[in-house]
Amino acid sequence: MQKLSLDAKAREHLERAAASSTGRSAETLYGGHEHTLRQTLIALTAGTTLAEHENPGEATVLVLHGRVRLHSGDDVWEGMAGDLLLVPPARHSLQALEDAAALLTVAKSA
């Protein structure tokens, strides 16, 4: 069994994102491309956006710190620390409204 502190990981990646020219940092905490389930911690500085992309399967975004905005077509959802956003099965993007960290969970479609 392995235990991780999401708070500590979020702080670490927020620092990395702040020091990065891209304004972001990420780490897969569980799974990977060879697994069905993948959990990735994503940190973004305020104003940084993950450009629109396809949804590889069922996905959620658990906001750990800050505020984010999820866009899909004409739909927009905002989330803050403690909110769980259900990612639609369509192209979408994620924008940090303030420095933010989130846990992206994806179960890939077969």
Q: What is the 3-state secondary structure (H, E, C) of 48-80?
A: CEEEEECCCEEEEEEEEECEEEEEECCEEEEEE
Residues of the chain with pLDDT under 70: 110
In a domain, 1, yes or no: no
- What pLDDT, on a 0 to 100 scale, did the predictor assign at position 2? 85
> For position 40, which CATH number holds?
2.60.120.10
Q: Domains in the chain: how many in total?
A: 1
In a domain, 20, yes or no: yes
In this prediction the pTM is 0.92
In a domain, 66, yes or no: yes
How far is it, in rounded angstroms, from Cα 25 to Cα 14? 7
- What pLDDT, on a 0 to 100 scale, did the predictor assign at position 110? 63
How far is it, in rounded angstroms, from Cα 60 to Cα 88? 9
Range of the domain at 41: 6-108
In a domain, 75, yes or no: yes
In a domain, 56, yes or no: yes
Q: What is the DSSP letter of 88?
A: P
